[in-house]
Amino acid sequence: MASYADTTQLPTDSTQLPMLVASGLSCQRGKRRLFQDLTLRVSAGTALLVQGANGSGKTSLLRMLAGLTCPTSGQVYWNGTPIRQLGDEYRGQLLYCGHLNGLKDELSAEENLMTAAALSGRAVSTTMVRSALRDVGLGGWECLSTRALSQGQKRRVMLARLLLDPRPLWVLDEPLTALDADAVTWLSHVIDLHLQHGGVAVLTSHQDIALTGSVQTCRLGS
Ligand SMILES: Nc1ncnc2c1ncn2[C@@H]1O[C@H](COP(=O)(O)OP(=O)(O)OP(=O)(O)O)[C@@H](O)[C@H]1O
């Protein structure tokens, strides 16, 4: 049973119910109110592109949607249930990629991905990890210490997690940072496939990303 705060505007067709809902979200940072009474509804197969100038609150919003920060007011729902009620169950549905790549410099790309999978409780084989690294253009770089990779290559290693850890909700904060044109094309394709399989993606980017699926935008600071 859905428990949205405001059910009056939800679609009557249950197949159209949004998977991710933010209702009346506000964010106060010090004396600054970054956004207020923000309501979002994102259905399966849709990307939400959060836009805005530096400091407008995009990362703050993504962290709230990922359950990493509590909103000043308002609530986030996943399939009709408040995420704070879902707790670990929600975290298990979500793949969050932040500004930092979360890689250990002393480990290889392959070891980093195996470790990330183990920490998230996913059973992945070396073959799967190598295949993901090849897919992201890092064939031949699997065993090199991550310290020796370029910024774009490190970002690619982090994004290879998208191929190894299938979860319905992706929250990607500036995923295009440091990526070259080929990698941007690759990532657009991967996000499109995720949407085609009924997933939801929330992302920020100061660069253009061409998605062929359904895209909603949310502009902060205007
Ligand atoms: N913990 C905090 N305490 C005080 N201010 C904060 C805190 N976290 C963020 N801020 C401020 O909130 C504002 C929004 O930050 P946020 O990182 O959400 O912006 P952004 O839109 O993602 O910016 P950018 O495009 O530069 O990445 C900034 O001015 C930042 O300094």
In a domain, 174, yes or no: no
Whether residue 8 has pLDDT greater than 60: no
Report the domain count for the chain. Answer: 1
In this structure, what CATH number is given to the domain that contains residue 29? 3.40.50.300
Choice between 5 and 191, residue whose per-residue pLDDT is larger: 191
Residue 34 near ligand 1, beta carbon < 6 Å: yes
Mean pLDDT score, 113-119: 93
User: Is 31 touching ligand 1 by the criterion CB < 6 Å?
Assistant: no
- Can you tell me the ipTM of this complex? 0.95
Q: Are 113 and 160 in contact (CB under 8 A)?
A: yes
What's the 70 CA to ligand 1 centre distance in angstroms?
Answer: 14
Pair 38, 23: CB distance under 8 Å? no
Q: What is the pLDDT of residue 129?
A: 97
* In-domain check, residue 158: no
Distance, CA of 4 to CA of 53 (rounded, Å): 30
Q: What is the pLDDT of residues 51-94, one digit of tens each?
A: 999 999 999 999 999 999 999 999 999 999 999 999 999 999 99
> Residue 66 has what pLDDT?
97
At 31-54, the pLDDT tens digits run 999 999 999 999 999 999 999 999
Q: 18 C-alpha vs ligand 1 centroid, how far in Å?
A: 27
Q: What value does the mean pLDDT of the chain take?
A: 91
Q: Is the pLDDT of residue 3 over 80?
A: no
Q: State the pLDDT at residue 123.
A: 86
Banded pLDDT at 139 (limits 50, 70, 90): very high
Q: Could you tell me the distance, in angstroms and rounded to a whole number, from the CA of residue 55 to the centre of ligand 1?
A: 5
For ligand 1, say whether the CB of 30 is within 6 Å of any of its atoms: yes
205 domain residue, yes or no = yes
In a domain, 81, yes or no: yes
Q: Measuring from atom 27 of ligand 1, which residue has the nearest CA?
A: 54
| 46 belongs to a structural domain | yes
Q: Is the pLDDT of residue 179 over 90?
A: yes
Q: Which domain holds residue 85?
A: 1-8+18-93+200-222
Other CB atoms within 10 Å distance of the CB of residue 197: 11
